[in-house]
Amino acid sequence: MRYDLNLLPVFMALMEERSVTRAAARLGITQPALSNALNRLRDTLKDPLFIRERYGIKPTPFAEEIGPVILETLAKLDDVILGRQHFDAGTSTRVFNIAPNSYVEIVLIPSVVARLRQLAPGIKVSLAPFGADLTEAGLVSGTTDMALGRIVDPPDNLVVQHLMDDGLACVVRADHPDVGDSLSREQYEQLRHVNVLPPGRMRVGLFQALERQGLRRELAISVTHFLAVPEIIAVTDYCATLPRLICKQIAKDPRLKVIESPVDLGTFPVDIAWHVRYRNDPAHQWFRQLLVETAAELADNH
């Protein structure tokens, strides 16, 4: 029996998006064209495959059964085809769609862009929000090349590689009336704090670190991005607990000073995650190695 392999990506798009509209947009085709492909799939597989619900579509038990088989088949085809392709970074014009969390966007991406300018000036990078989860970031569907940040509980179709670790330190204004070159536990708990609530799991890590040490914070304000912190600290007597590599950048501001936290708050990981379909893609492999080397250089200069 002959199978139309073009129908398999349609099936996976519907499985992962659970919406005809989103699946059509992801594949770059019209909804009527997708509906026609779905009807052909149904005729071939002798099953409805997807049932309409109030907020999208739901796969049938048979679709759930064959989904992993089709995913594995597509991944193997990608491995064979992409693995045979030649990649020349110096002449490539590929666009990498990346979802970094706000920490990575500040700390790592500028150095990555600088290296690309030297090694691969034709390669472009497009950044998307990391989002609240990996599905929102477009990683689970493979529409995003990779996500960079703290990756927790990834699904089976993602590959995760540890990139680097960072620690935490404190920032206050340079002429703070109550804080000198060190910060005691008592001072830390008496100060009011600026809290950063970026999307993703980094916020969980800080709260857990404080809880492990029994360290209390009185929050004065919560912001959504690290870039808001310096301006607030510069005009208040507040304190902020931030990643060390961000503190290193903030230390260049004469209005501010970086000091050690009163207790060891440990470290947090930064990971790369990507869809299995990119595992043997030569361009993707090259870019991942660039990220690894850039992160190692930052860690060495920490």
Query: What is the pTM for the complete model shown?
Result: 0.72
* Residue with the larger pLDDT of the pair 239 and 202: 239
Mean pLDDT of the 223-249 span: 94
Q: Based on the fold, state whether residues 252 and 274 are members of the same structural domain.
A: no
Most confident residue range from 43-52, 79-88, 149-158, 182-191: 182-191
Say yes or no to pLDDT of 93 above 80. yes
Q: Based on the fold, state whether residues 146 and 274 are members of the same structural domain.
A: yes
Q: Based on the fold, state whether residues 102 and 50 are members of the same structural domain.
A: no
For residue 257, being part of any structural domain is answered with: yes
Q: Based on the fold, state whether residues 228 and 149 are members of the same structural domain.
A: no
Q: Based on the fold, state whether residues 58 and 190 are members of the same structural domain.
A: no
Choose the final residue of a domain: 36, 61, 83: 83
Res 134: pLDDT: 64
For residue 60, being part of any structural domain is answered with: yes
Q: Which of 131, 12, 146 is nearest to 73 (CA)?
A: 12
Say yes or no to pLDDT of 136 above 60. no
Q: Which of 31, 34, 32, 26 is nearest to 6 (CA)?
A: 34
For a pLDDT cut of 90, what percent of the chain falls above it?
50
Q: Based on the fold, state whether residues 62 and 188 are members of the same structural domain.
A: no
**Per DSSP, what are the bridge partners of residue 127?**
98
Mean pLDDT of the 138-162 span: 82
For residue 2, being part of any structural domain is answered with: no
For residue 214, being part of any structural domain is answered with: yes
Q: Based on the fold, state whether residues 201 and 256 are members of the same structural domain.
A: yes
Res 239: pLDDT: 97
Mean pLDDT of the 155-170 span: 90
Say yes or no to pLDDT of 69 above 90. no
Q: Based on the fold, state whether residues 142 and 67 are members of the same structural domain.
A: no
Q: Based on the fold, state whether residues 176 and 157 are members of the same structural domain.
A: no
* Residue with the larger pLDDT of the pair 86 and 91: 91
Look at 75-89, 203-217, 249-263, 278-292 and tell me which has the smallest mean pLDDT: 75-89
Q: Which of 209, 208, 210, 226 is nearest to 218 (CA)?
A: 210
Per-residue pLDDT band for 141 (boundaries 50, 70, 90) equals: low
Mean pLDDT of the 170-178 span: 95
The mean pLDDT of the chain is 87
Choose the final residue of a domain: 22, 55, 83: 83
Mean pLDDT of the 217-238 span: 94
Give 146-205 as a DSSP string. EEEE---S--TTEEEEEEEEE-EEEEEETT-SS--S---HHHHHHSEEEEE--SSSHHHH
Say yes or no to pLDDT of 202 above 50. no
For residue 88, being part of any structural domain is answered with: no
* Residue with the larger pLDDT of the pair 69 and 286: 286
Mean pLDDT of the 247-273 span: 93
- Parent domain of 183: 168-266
Say yes or no to pLDDT of 128 above 90. no
Q: Based on the fold, state whether residues 158 and 282 are members of the same structural domain.
A: yes
Say yes or no to pLDDT of 39 above 70. yes
For residue 1, being part of any structural domain is answered with: no
Mean pLDDT of the 217-222 span: 93
**Domain with 198 in it: what CATH number?**
3.40.190.10
Domains in the chain, number: 3
Most confident residue range from 84-98, 183-197, 199-213, 264-278: 183-197
Res 84: pLDDT: 58
Structure tokens at 60: 């049938």
Q: Based on the fold, state whether residues 102 and 63 are members of the same structural domain.
A: no
Give 14-36 as a DSSP string. HHHH--HHHHHHHHT--HHHHHH
Q: Based on the fold, state whether residues 75 and 218 are members of the same structural domain.
A: no
Mean pLDDT of the 267-282 span: 87
For residue 11, being part of any structural domain is answered with: yes
Check if the beta carbon of residue 60 is closer than 8 Å to that of residue 50. yes
Per-residue pLDDT band for 29 (boundaries 50, 70, 90) equals: confident
For residue 89, being part of any structural domain is answered with: no
Choose the final residue of a domain: 48, 83, 118: 83
Res 233: pLDDT: 97
**Domain with 35 in it: what CATH number?**
1.10.10.10
